[in-house]
Amino acid sequence: MAARMPSRPLLLVSALALACASADPHPGAASAASADAGRPSAVAPVDAGHPGIDLAGMDRSVAPGDDFFLHANGTWLKQAEIPGDKSGWGTFNILAEQALERTRALLEDAAASAAGPGSEEREVGDFYATALDEAAVEAQALAPVLPRLATIAALRDKRALARALGAELRLEVDPLNNAVFQTSRLFGFWVAPDLNRGVTQTGYLLQGGLGMPDREYYLSDNPKMAATRDRYRAHVAKVLSLAAIPDAEARAGRILDLETRIARVHASRADSLEVRKANNPWPVAELPRRAPGLDWPAFLAGARLDRQKILIVWHPAAVRGIAALVKQVPLATWKEWMTFHAVNRRGALLPRAFVEENFDFYGRTLSGAPQLAERWKRATALTSVQLPDAVGKLYVARHFPAESKAQVQAMVRDIIAAFDRRIAALDWMTPETRSRTREKARTLYVGVGYPDRWRDISGLEIRKGDLVGNVERAELFEYRRWVARLGQRADRTEWAMSAQTVNAINLPLQNALNFPAAILEPPFFDPGAPSAANYGAIGTVIGHEICHSFDDQGALFDAEGRFHNWWTPQDFARFEESGTRLVAQYDAYRPFPDLHVNGKLTLSENIADVAGLSATLDAWRASLQGRPAPQVGGFSGEQQVFLAYAQTWRSKVREPLARQYLVADGHAPDHYRALTVRNVDAWYDAFQVRPGQALFLAPPDRVRVW
């Protein structure tokens, strides 16, 4: 299933953490189903100092019908410069940078506070202070990873290997909601409601084992991919050399060969998004028969999963193939692979030489960023990732007023109601499917700003001065927290993002959405801006996430989050026909001569863009309640909605990262997401788009999903 994030820049913020490798003030997030007409309106008074759309950033020399992205963003695009420590820059990045700076101030206050030992504020402050202390990291040298290397060196047989591989398993991979879900551990692991039983928390096992983002980096004959492979081999050798491991070049060759063999058994990114292919409940007792080669009892014992009855195997062929490789490949080679990843995984947390090498490959080579981010940025991002709710409490207390929450919740209600009206008006959907679709929309849980309940980290030990140990204990704490919940009833209100994250998410197994506080800021949401701009920006993000519940994959989950076909065959065939046309539309976009957008890979996101924009436009119109929309810069209300939408996708991306996205990400490039407008009839009227212009589609060729 496609990633549920509206854009990719969150990955850049997370990468900062990898590169460095309170009281609840407001009521909880409300379910849209419980809203009533007496709640606050989504339409706030317009402040003349808050126009909503960026008039200066437009390029009016480009006709809207020739390239709407450039019409809305062309001047900004010419003038904007990507910061040296970034691989891309745009609306999401600008807000992410603001959130990072705000979070830094909170962390500095926590580090300087007089909070008592064991308090969350003290733990947050100590974690951040430790991440900042480069001198201590240099003084410790390789000491933090030496115990792990000694454990690997002591492995004497494949049973011990299997147990050690299991002990490395962590909760780090979510195939439904993560744009890039590769892991360097042998397998990826995830805990979520059971695909088939809905309410029960179940473990999911996924393919893993690679140090680069996707199998294509190992297998593609594209010259740029071949060059990246050469650079990766050099990176492996350099990391081993820095760790004083002998014969680094020869070992690097064997490690790359092993990962290439792993890549050959991996499912493709597009296949990984096919939930129907992923729904494979395997009895744990049958793992040795279904995937022979790995000592599964030892692996599961190491992972603390030996008491589980069922695991859902997301990539069955890959799990079988990787298990077979454990038997086929010599123990010595597996130990070399584990040794490299034990150092590489923590390379950004080690002395400067490791940090620079880690950045040189993962930042500069794979993403195109020319310089390493300042240490405070890396320390802030790392603290935020490892202690998300503890930091989130501090963030919302200072930066998310109750008035903003109420206004956004009103927009959510409007958009869900508009989507419901669109469903009711469909002439092609049978009454049975329509009834179940509307039920799913009505029961959708929508979290705004922050979770109803914060995660308790009272059992997590943070030691000042122990950076690697703090990260490892935090990861293990989170893993064990989720393993302990296996078999228990799932909580639909559980959040998957922190409040300080600039993004949004749809959780199909929970029939739920999260909109963190940090994205509910200008230019996405401005309480003083015209409603047209707010609906065109954050409204379309909300509409996008709502419509993910009804895209090509989300439509396969019912109101309780179960993987359940609730469509009549003729209805689903009609729906899939629209998807096929959208695939062809996006396949035609070619950012580079040798690479085009993968319409199948990006289908879920593209469906959500088309349907979300259409429903949000309807919601904005209804919110006016017959009042005229104020003009801004001579633009009508409808024009403002479309311009705000296109400016949401304002971005510049360095070529290496742009290429990585095309291969490994479920989103189309931002330029083409702005062109979603060509499927909406109202856009043609608003901007007088006519036949002969590049973006013109005849009415029968416009894709109308919902």
With bands split at pLDDT 50, 70 and 90, how would you rate the model's confidence at 176? low
Secondary structure string (H, E, C) spanning 269-291: HHHHCCHHHHCCEEEHHHHHHHC
Threshold 0.85, pTM exceeds: yes
Identify the pLDDT of residue 274. 86
Q: Is the pLDDT of residue 17 over 50?
A: no
Taking the CA atoms of residue 618, residue 620, residue 622 and residue 625 in that order, the dihedral angle to the nearest 10 degrees is: -160
**In this structure, which topology does domain 10-35+58-106+386-453+493-701 adopt according to CATH?**
Collagenase (Catalytic Domain) (3.40.390)
Domain ranges within the chain, ordered by starting residue: 10-35+58-106+386-453+493-701, 168-329+457-487
Q: Is the pLDDT of residue 24 over 50?
A: no
Read off the pLDDT of residues 381-395 as tens digits, 9 standing for 90 and up: 999 999 999 999 999
Read off the pLDDT of residues 68-105 as tens digits, 9 standing for 90 and up: 999 999 999 999 999 999 999 999 999 999 999 999 99
Query: Among 212-226, 249-263, 433-447, 615-629, where is mean pLDDT lowest?
Result: 433-447
Amino acid at 599: G
**What residues are paired with 191 via a beta bridge?**
203
Coil, helix or strand for 312? strand
Read off the pLDDT of residues 514-535 as tens digits, 9 standing for 90 and up: 999 999 999 999 998 999 999 9
Coil, helix or strand for 647? helix
**Cβ(505)–Cβ(497) under 8 Å?**
yes
**Cβ(355)–Cβ(85) under 8 Å?**
no
Q: What residue spans of 20-90 are helical by DSSP H? A: 68-79
With bands split at pLDDT 50, 70 and 90, how would you rate the model's confidence at 559? confident
Rg (CA), the chain: 25
Read off the pLDDT of residues 348-362 as tens digits, 9 standing for 90 and up: 999 999 999 999 999
Read off the pLDDT of residues 110-154 as tens digits, 9 standing for 90 and up: 999 988 888 999 999 999 999 999 999 999 999 999 999 999 999
Nearest Cα residue to 183 out of 314, 32, 84: 314
With bands split at pLDDT 50, 70 and 90, how would you rate the model's confidence at 172? confident
Check for a shared fold between 10-35+58-106+386-453+493-701 and 168-329+457-487. Answer: no
**Cβ(171)–Cβ(482) under 8 Å?**
yes
With bands split at pLDDT 50, 70 and 90, how would you rate the model's confidence at 181? low
- Distance from C-alpha of 510 to C-alpha of 557, rounded to nearest angstrom: 9
Q: Is the pLDDT of residue 572 over 70?
A: yes
Identify the pLDDT of residue 32. 31
Sheet holding 445-449, edge to edge: 445-449, 512-516, 505-507
- Distance from C-alpha of 501 to C-alpha of 589, rounded to nearest angstrom: 30
Q: Is the pLDDT of residue 269 over 60?
A: yes
Class of the 168-329+457-487 domain? mainly alpha
pLDDT, average across residues 163-173: 93
pLDDT, average across residues 604-611: 91
- Distance from C-alpha of 387 to C-alpha of 457, rounded to nearest angstrom: 8
Identify the pLDDT of residue 359. 96
Element housing 207 (H / E): strand 201-207
Identify the pLDDT of residue 28. 30
pLDDT, average across residues 250-257: 98
| Beta carbons within 10 angstroms of residue 239's beta carbon | 26
